[in-house]
């Protein structure tokens, strides 16, 4: 039986990894993911830390690869540094892609990022069943990403330049 979900754990490995430079990628600030997870526009009822008496809000972020991450084919807007920042902020992170799990693992290992899971995107519901979180996001670039994210109960975040304008300076300073 072929595994469709790989769960790993451990901290992200720190270190500078050069990012791909392109006009498209430079449209987003490296703090964008931090802005996404802090943005009240994306929480829709998710309590903030101040509202919970100091308890931590657990966020899980799944990243599509092709068209979403800078290392995808085609390259996307989300840099590996943004992913590291999300991990550093305490988010559970991983990938939900149509790439084979071995390819997903290789990408994360090449960039020295320890993820909590890798999954085929049509199996995002298995991630939600496996991990307890207050909010689940899937960052992607296609209608299929949107479909599978919402079908699994994730909030879909479109990885495109229009997001910057729509969310404004609170999210993308």
Structural domains of the chain in order of their starting residue, each with its CATH number? 25-167 (3.40.50.1000)
Per-position pLDDT tens, the chain of length 173: 334 444 444 333 222 223 223 333 333 434 455 555 454 344 444 444 334 445 578 899 999 999 999 999 999 988 898 889 889 888 999 999 999 999 999 999 999 999 999 999 999 999 999 999 999 999 999 999 999 999 999 999 998 776 545 543 333 33
Classify residue 47 as left (phi > 0), alpha (psi -120 to 50) or beta: beta
Specify the pLDDT at position 85.
86
- Let me know if 112 is exposed, middle or buried by CB neighbors in 10 A (0-12, 13-18, 19+): middle
Question: Residues 64, 159: contact at Cβ < 8 Å?
Answer: yes
């Amino acid at each position: 039986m072929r595994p469709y979900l790989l769960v790993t754990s451990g901290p992200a490995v720190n270190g500078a990894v050069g990012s791909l430079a392109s006009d498209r990628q430079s449209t987003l600030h490296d703090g964008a993911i931090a802005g996404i997870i802090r943005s009240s526009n994306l929480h829709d009822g998710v309590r903030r830390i101040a509202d919970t008496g100091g308890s931590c809000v657990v966020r899980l972020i799944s990243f599509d690869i092709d068209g979403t991450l800078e290392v995808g084919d085609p390259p996307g807007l989300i840099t590996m540094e943004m992913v590291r920042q999300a991990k550093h902020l305490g988010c559970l992170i991983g990938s939900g892609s149509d790439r084979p799990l071995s390819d997903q693992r290789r990408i994360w290992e090449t960039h020295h990022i320890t993820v909590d899971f890798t999954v085929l995107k049509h199996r995002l519901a298995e991630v939600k069943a496996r991990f307890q979180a207050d909010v689940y996001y899937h960052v992607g670039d296609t209608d299929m990403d949107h479909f599978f994210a919402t079908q699994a109960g994730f909030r879909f975040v479109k990885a495109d330049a229009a997001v910057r304008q729509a969310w404004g300076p609170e999210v993308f300073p």
